[in-house]
Structure 1
Amino acid sequence: MKTKHFIVYSLLFWSLTSCVSRLERHALSGVIVDINKQPIENCAVAETRTDSTGHFFLPELRYNQFLLTEFLIHEAPPVMYTEPILRNGFKNKTIEFFHEYGGGKKKEPIECWTPFV
């Protein structure tokens, strides 16, 4: 009987201390262009830079949340991020995103087309 209780309590402990993967930022890809729609090379977009054709890619960021905390909250937290776009000689811009219900599963990359003046 003690073994049965031990197994039940162990399973309960491990399930409540397990982690749930939560979305911090979608995968982002896009092209940075000037007002004449010419690509801008070597433009800083968050932690990456654009290539010679103005393209960039930011990988999806996730974090782990304890399952017990998720039971208490009862819903996915909101997803909100602001990624800076910087280049000398140009006005600074940002990629902004907010979704009130968050995201728990993997999504496809979000395409961005940003005129950069």
Structure 2
Amino acid sequence: MAEAVVKKLLNELQSITEDAISRLNTMDSDELELLANRREELVLSIEEYRNSINEENREQIAYILSFDMTILKRMLFLKNEAGEWMHKQGAIRTQQSAYQNAYSLDSMFIDHRK
């Protein structure tokens, strides 16, 4: 019975991993987060049956793990993209704040362009 449960869990893990790989370039960070959470749930469920894992299961696990680096690269790409966007937004805010300060009506503001 334990072998059947392990096989079912591994098949589901393989299925969602292969589905993610097939559409990886169009997945956004939210979808990748859902994928990671679901995979974690499945792995934790499989962990309970650790003693029932046979050689065939180990091969299937190795196959599933072979996709991890590709998924991780996509996650890092999206993380770096978000970081760049936040950096640009910070620079924009800094530039805008120089022109949005409330100045006294009788004062002058001189902008020196370089």
What TM-score do the two structures reach when normalised by structure 1?
0.26
Give the structure with the higher percent helix. 2
Give the structure with the higher percent strand. 1
The higher relative CO (CA closer than 8 Å, separation ≥ 6) is in 2
What TM-score do the two structures reach when normalised by structure 2?
0.26
